Amino acid sequence: MSTTENPGTPGAQHVPERREVTVRRAPKYVPFLVLGGLLGFGVAAFLAYGLPGDESYDAGAVFGFFMIMCGAGGVILGGVAALILDRLSVRRARRAVVESVPDSVPDTEGQPGA
């Protein structure tokens, strides 16, 4: 009588599974958005405090107005830059063949009696 062995048992013959995958370097979007917003705040500070303006407006109020506009514009431009880099990374993607490797020691964490 023959017995079928589970793949995790020591005597089992393991045939590695081969798969083809795509490997690419994609940018993280959050750092681009944050950097764009910070650059927008810097531009707003320059516009409010670096350039001569109308004396009837407080420089803090002008900075607040420009901070909203330039910050939002900077976040949008940072997102567009990340999207462009993402599309470029799709073009430079490489194909690779990966093979599954069996565990030399089976996992015993979380199992009853371990």
Point out the least confidently predicted range of 27-36, 41-50, 103-112.
Answer: 103-112
Tens digit of pLDDT for each residue in 37-62? 999 999 999 999 988 888 888 888 99
Query: Which residue, 64, 78, 83, 81, is CA-closest to 35?
Result: 78
Q: Give ∠ CA 80-82-88 in degrees, rounded to 5.
A: 105
71, 37 Cβ separation under 8 angstroms: yes
For the chain, the first-to-last Cα distance in angstroms comes to 31
How far is 12 from 102, CA to CA, in rounded Å?
A: 11
pTM of the model: 0.64
Tokens read off for 28: 């993280």
How far is 77 from 63, CA to CA, in rounded Å?
A: 20
* Stretch 28-39: mean pLDDT: 96
Q: What is the mean pLDDT of the chain?
A: 83
Higher-confidence residue: 86 or 110? 86
Residue 86 CB burial class (10 angstroms; 0-12, 13-18, ≥19): middle
Domain boundaries, the chain: 27-98
